[in-house]
Amino acid sequence: MSTRLSQLFVRTLREDPSDAEVTSHRLLVRAGYIRRQAPGIFAWLPLGLRVKAKIEAIIRDEMTAAGAQEVHFPALLPREPYEATGRWTEYGEGMFRLQDRKDTDYLLAPTHEEAFTLLVKDLYSSYKDLPLTLFQIQDKYRDEARPRAGLLRGREFTMKDAYSFDSSDAGLDASYQLQRDAYERIFAKLGLSYVIVKADAGAMGGSKSEEFLHPMEAGEDTFVRSAGGYAANVEAFTTIVPDEIALEGLAEATLLDPHDTPTIATLVEHLNATQPRDAGEWTASETLKNVIVALTHLDGTREIIALGLPGDRDVDMKRVEVAFYPAEVEAAGEADFAKNPLLVKGYIGPQVLGSESESGIRYYVDPRVVSGSSWVTGANEDGVHVRDLVMGRDFAADGVYEIAQVREGDPAPDGSGPIETARGMEIGHVFQLGRKFADALGLKVLDENGKQVTVTMGSYGIGVTRILAVIAESNNDDKGLIWPDNVAPFDVHVVATGKDAVVYEVAEELVSALEGARLDVLFDDRPKVSPGVKFGDAELLGVPQIVVVGRSAGEGIVELWDRRTGERTPVPVAEAVAALTTR
Amino acid sequence: MSTRLSQLFVRTLREDPSDAEVTSHRLLVRAGYIRRQAPGIFAWLPLGLRVKAKIEAIIRDEMTAAGAQEVHFPALLPREPYEATGRWTEYGEGMFRLQDRKDTDYLLAPTHEEAFTLLVKDLYSSYKDLPLTLFQIQDKYRDEARPRAGLLRGREFTMKDAYSFDSSDAGLDASYQLQRDAYERIFAKLGLSYVIVKADAGAMGGSKSEEFLHPMEAGEDTFVRSAGGYAANVEAFTTIVPDEIALEGLAEATLLDPHDTPTIATLVEHLNATQPRDAGEWTASETLKNVIVALTHLDGTREIIALGLPGDRDVDMKRVEVAFYPAEVEAAGEADFAKNPLLVKGYIGPQVLGSESESGIRYYVDPRVVSGSSWVTGANEDGVHVRDLVMGRDFAADGVYEIAQVREGDPAPDGSGPIETARGMEIGHVFQLGRKFADALGLKVLDENGKQVTVTMGSYGIGVTRILAVIAESNNDDKGLIWPDNVAPFDVHVVATGKDAVVYEVAEELVSALEGARLDVLFDDRPKVSPGVKFGDAELLGVPQIVVVGRSAGEGIVELWDRRTGERTPVPVAEAVAALTTR
């Protein structure tokens, strides 16, 4: 098949769109692949749609090969099932909600766990019907607070979402592995490098959860990895927990003389100056920092809580969000302190924290704050600190959460060495939902013994439109896009230059011959456009193989131009087809 | 490719769904093609999705062959462009509206005229860029008052919508014809008979407008046709207008004596009894019936108007709706009469009607009420009629509209003879929007003389999901569906029956051979299911060619079963592939 550029609905732009923050957005708009309709909402022009269809075909083939069956759900869904699972409320402002003419509540589905669960419940009833994996390639909606970066984080976007159904945990493990393997094949075919990281299951609940991250600077996720093979996103990284220490024989807590040490650094300096010891210099990691944050619960109530962690680390608010999901989290403000006079800013100590304490403020600690660990911390009096305050003896916590910053050099939890951090973009997510949705919606089957058992589910997502942007983000140069062969909008871009009739005759023949060889050809047949503009367009559009039919056409010579390497090779026109098809 | 029924996500149902009013809905649900999610909103199961994809592929091929280019717009669109064309308001309750987290108004697009217009404006600027025809196959949303009949009238449905852009009227005519021809080819390929009827352009404005109607009893449209080839939907049918009559010499209007004739029939009887004449018996067609209807305008105001038409016809409220679009129309109620004491029920005459009259009530007449025509009608006094009341002399109207019932036997407006009426379902619509949208949104291009001209547009729609239902509606019997070959979910359905190992061996070999011949095969490999159930399922699912591998398999004989004719033919298994591929 061939398409003439003179007829193609495209207009390349010299200027970057004013709202484009990332390369893929900039180039996809300039090259006429997509066009903005509203924040985070795009129209697909013919070139963009071709690339999108190729990506979808690759995903569909691998899903089918992995035994998943394609279905298609509506985007517009009724409220009730999402109410039953709690997501109607939990999703907060991120979900588009609307009412029909009868004032019945609907939503535009952000994901379809509920609908898939109910469909299987509707049709299946026995363990013999399982395992089952269903998928769809479908447009989803999320009302992002900050839609950004073009297709990387849109509000209407195409996703492949798959769901597995099993009657046993072992079955779920097998279904999960099949999907995980399929994802590896899909990303390999798409030429996308990836790191599989342990992920927090977040809003979905559930247990085993892994993200496929494509390492890239413009990525939204920070992940950590060790040379020994450990990889996790920061939210899922776990701290190696030190052993507990027996309480007997530990030094008594001692108040230090009042002093003005408003920061951890000045406190450590003060300790080294006034509390010398044989065990070496005091360090910030021996101090216990107590940070007050405010939670806004789903019902709108505001609660302040305290977080205790070693003084050499900051609180990571993203990790706090995960820990206290679905509540919203923010730093406590002056008003919060004013209401809680027991909290002495700069000198907060855990003696007055915890739901059983005088303040009643819930108190959660970093995993390093084990029973028997001794700390220098605030004494809840201006200017006063206390040393040798012991966890489990002098104070207690309501629980332990991963709320501290993760740092390069921290030890990987699996003992595979120190970690480094990198930026990546989530391109796929596989995880075990378990029985959360099946429980909420009553999806049970009869097992071998005729007993009702709740089905266990997995959920597997790939952001189709995001992947297109990620490919563009990782395949370009300063001239424009450079598509990998198997997702390029065309196989070959034939550029006819100059005004000689022979050029166009040779080009037409070549295009026919390429079509005969089953290649998809874009033919720049525009008669009154300069060679410079045509070359610039070819570079911007990014078809990987370009053929220039120019002044040597009369002698039967054309030029093969590799878009990625920039290499230009004259070949006899008779050999061009063979050269282009054997690649 | 082959699919094993033991693995396929499907469950056939013996019972009709309780909400199914039409055959297609009933069978598509029972055979496991679709599943209801909400009123007018369905999920597509694997079988349904396969048929839908085949229909889409046929449409896409023909659109591309006709030079249209595929794009894809979001369903979620901002309010502003629809505000500019007036459709945000005009669409009334039929449009789903919502707000994002910033309270910005959005809609789920019912059609995309605005978005296409703006996209072309965005990229193109010269007559040289035109003609251009773009299309998409995309999910649309309409908040139907009464979603019904399964896929025939849904609230979320798939449409192919195309739009043409030309710089001249002649160009639009050519683009229109190309699309019209493509539609004829599409419906031929889909095996759908159709009648092309003149249509009212309705909500879209514009001029030339034709609908493709598939004749069927469950259809929503009444259309008329003549033996001479005229066809139109009832809303678009036009009355042959009689010649005007000179006013000079016409008999004076005369009040009749009071009499109790509450109906047209009793009035005619009374006329023949008391007003004998040489010209023959009086007929109802000589009386002028005046009907009061209430309009509710977009701004919510209620207005009553009067409609005058020959007494032998009723008002057709659907035609009135078209005439007074976008106002809503209903019969006037007691309260309306109470507020207008000049209107004497049963004896309303046009002497007190019209915006210039005493009542100020706007008055519109049927085209037969020409200047100089004489009528027997009410005298606005209880029990009193008047005869020889002459249009243009004794009363006036504010305008002429087609508001009367169309009847079998009425003459076709093109002189091709009397019409008959039939029921049909709209499966396609082609029409010339003209410059309405381009005007409202400022889509202009430079013409040959460097002058700005407004672009003229056409709009071309096919309801993909509706067509699937229409095909099902027209291709079934009491046992189930019978798909036409080129949209069937599979080419062949192989049914293995019995418990002999040889049956399954022969069946497996046959399936492999059919796959080798590039046929899509559904293989009923279920070991513990009775032949009766398998045959019933095969009939319900409706794959057009069935092969039964049963007790003669050991002797190398299988049975070809034509689902449509019911014919069953034993053939040697070695010949089965050839027989099935040559069909």
Token code pair at residue B161: 């919508």
Chain pair A-B, CB pairs under 8 angstroms: 135
To the nearest whole Å, the CA of A511 is away from the closest chain B CA by 18
User: What's the CATH number of domain B254-400, 3.20.20.140, 3.40.1640.10, 3.90.960.10, 3.30.465.10?
Assistant: 3.90.960.10
Q: Which residues of B touch A49 (CB under 8 A)?
A: 70-72
The CATH number of the domain covering residues in A48-237+420-473: 3.30.930.10
Shortest Cα distance from B301 to chain A (angstroms)?
Answer: 20
d(CA A518, CA A1): 7
Domains of chain A, residue spans: 48-237+420-473, 254-400, 490-581
DSSP summary character for residue B253: P
Asked whether the beta carbons of residue B71 and residue A11 sit closer than 8 angstroms, the reply is no
Provide the shortest C-alpha distance from residue A101 to chain B (in Å).
6
Instruction: Tell me whether the omega of the peptide bond preceding residue B418 falls within 30 degrees of 0, making it cis.
Output: no
Report the C-alpha dihedral over residues B244, B245, B246, B247, rounded to 10 degrees.
-110
> Which CATH architecture describes the domain B490-582?
3-Layer(aba) Sandwich (3.40)
Nearest by CB to B37, which of A44, A70, A77? A77
Per-residue HEC secondary structure of B371-408 comes to CCCEEEEEEEECCEEEEEEEECCCECCCEECCCECCCC
Buried b (16+ CB within 10 A) or exposed e, B190-212: bebebbbbbbbbbebbbebbbbb
Minimal Cβ distance to B41: which of A74, A123, A143: A74
Put simply, the answer to whether A108 touches B76 (Cβ < 8 Å) is yes
Answer yes or no: do B97 and A97 touch at CB < 8 A.
Answer: no
Mean pLDDT, all residues of chain B: 94
A304 bridge partner residues: A294
Among A11, A28, A37, the strongest candidate for a mutation testing the B interface, having the largest count of B CBs within 10 A, is A37
Token pair in block for residue B200:
């009212």
CB contact under 8 Å between B37 and A115, yes or no, is: yes
Strand partners, A445: A453
CATH 3.40.50.300 holds for B14-237+420-473: no
Q: Return the sign of the alpha-carbon dihedral for residues A321, A326, A328, A332.
A: negative
- Which of A408, A384, A380, A415 is closest to A395 using CA atoms? A380
List the structure tokens of B91.
């669409």
Q: How far apart are CA B423 and CA A21, in angstroms?
A: 56
What strands, in cross-sheet order, belong to the sheet with B363-365? B328-331, B288-296, B302-310, B363-365, B399-400
The pLDDT of residue B429 is above 50: yes
Q: If pLDDT is split at 50, 70 and 90, which confidence band does B453 have?
A: very high
Who among B74, B93, B134 is closest to A156 (CB)?
B74
Q: Measured between CA atoms, how close is A497 to chain B, in angstroms?
A: 20
Of residues B38, B46, B156, nearest to A70 (C-beta): B46
Shortest CA gap A443–chain B (Å)? 16
Tokens found for residue A266:
């000045």
pLDDT digits (tens, 9 = 90+) for A183-233: 999 999 999 999 998 887 444 444 789 999 999 988 888 889 999 888 888
Residues of B in contact with A11 (CB under 8 A): 123-124
The pair of three-digit structure tokens given for residue B512, joined into one six-digit string: 């492999």
Q: In chain A, which residues have their Cβ closer than 8 Å to the Cβ of B7?
A: 67, 69
Q: Are B515 and B2 in contact, with CB atoms under 8 Å apart?
A: yes
Cα A398 to Cα A350, A438, A560, distances in angstroms: 11, 31, 69
Burial string for A466-487 (b: 16+ CB within 10 Å, else e) reads bbbbbbbbbbbeeebbbbbeeb
Interchain pair A73, B37: CB under 8 A: yes
Question: B15, B41, B77, B80: which to substitute to probe chain A, counting the most A Cβ within 10 Å?
Answer: B41
According to DSSP H, which parts of A66-168 are helical? 80-84, 87-90, 113-123
Residue B180 has pLDDT above 50, yes or no: yes
Helix A464-474, helix A46-65: angle, nearest 10:
110
pLDDT value for A198 = 85
Interface touch B38/A115, C-beta < 8 Å: no
Taking CA–CA distances from A165, the nearest residue in chain B reads: B9
Of the candidates A562, A351, A583, A447, the residue with the CA atom closest to the CA atom of residue A127: A447
Domain A490-581 falls in which CATH fold?
Answer: Rossmann fold (3.40.50)
Cβ separation of A41 and B71 shorter than 8 Å?
A: no
CB contact under 8 A, B78 and A38: yes
Structure tokens at B336: 């309306």
Say whether A98 and B100 touch across the interface (CB within 8 A).
Answer: no
A49·B70 Cβ contact <8 A:
yes
- Nearest chain A residue (CA) to B157: A74
The residue to which tokens 């919606």 are assigned: A441
With a CB cutoff of 8 Å and minimum separation 6, the contacts of B493 are: B521, B522, B524, B538, B541, B543, B545, B546, B547
Cα–Cα distance list, A31 to A136, A216, B523 (Å): 29, 22, 47
- Check: complex ipTM more than 0.90: no
In angstroms, the CA A379 to CA A389 distance is 10
Rounded alpha-carbon distances, angstroms, from residue B566 to A324, A383, B21, B545:
64, 96, 27, 10
**Chain A partners within 8 Å of B93 (Cβ):** 101
DSSP code of A159? E
Give the distance from residue A127's alpha carbon to the nearest chain B alpha carbon, in angstroms. Answer: 13
Q: CB–CB of A315/A309 below 8 Å? A: yes
Residue B157, Cβ density class (10 Å: 0-12 exposed, 13-18 middle, ≥19 buried): buried
Residue B545's region, left for phi above 0, alpha for psi from -120 to 50, else beta, is beta
Given an 8 Å threshold on Cβ–Cβ distance, is B9 in contact with A71?
Answer: yes
The confidence score (pLDDT) of residue B204 equals 44
Closest chain A CA to residue B79: A38
The pTM of this model reads 0.85
**Other beta carbons within 10 Å of B565:** 8
Chain A residues inside the 8 Å CB shell of B96 = 76, 98, 100, 106
Across the interface, do B77 and A41 touch by the CB < 8 Å criterion? yes
Neighbours of A238 (CB within 10 A): 13
| Pair of tokens at residue A581 | 């098809």
Contact A77 B155 (CB under 8 A): no
- A169-189 and A46-65 helices cross at what angle (nearest 10)? 140
3-class DSSP string for A292-321 = EEEEECCCCCEEEEEEEEECCCCECHHHHH
Joined together, the tokens standing for residue B422 give 């039939």
Looking at CA atoms only, how far is residue A170 from chain B in angstroms? 20
Report, as ranges of residue numbers, the positions in chain A whose pLDDT lies below 70: 201-206, 583
CB nearest to A76's CB, from B32, B41, B97 = B41
CB contact under 8 A, B9 and A141: no
Min mean pLDDT across A61-75, B62-76, B337-351, B530-544 is at B337-351
Nearest residue on chain B to A73, judged by CA atoms? Answer: B43
How distant is the Cα of A41 from the closest Cα of chain B, in angstroms?
7
pLDDT score, position B234: 87
How close, in Å, is residue B11 to chain A by CA atoms? 6
Min Cα distance B98 → chain A (Å) is: 5
DSSP bridge partners of B559: B548, B570
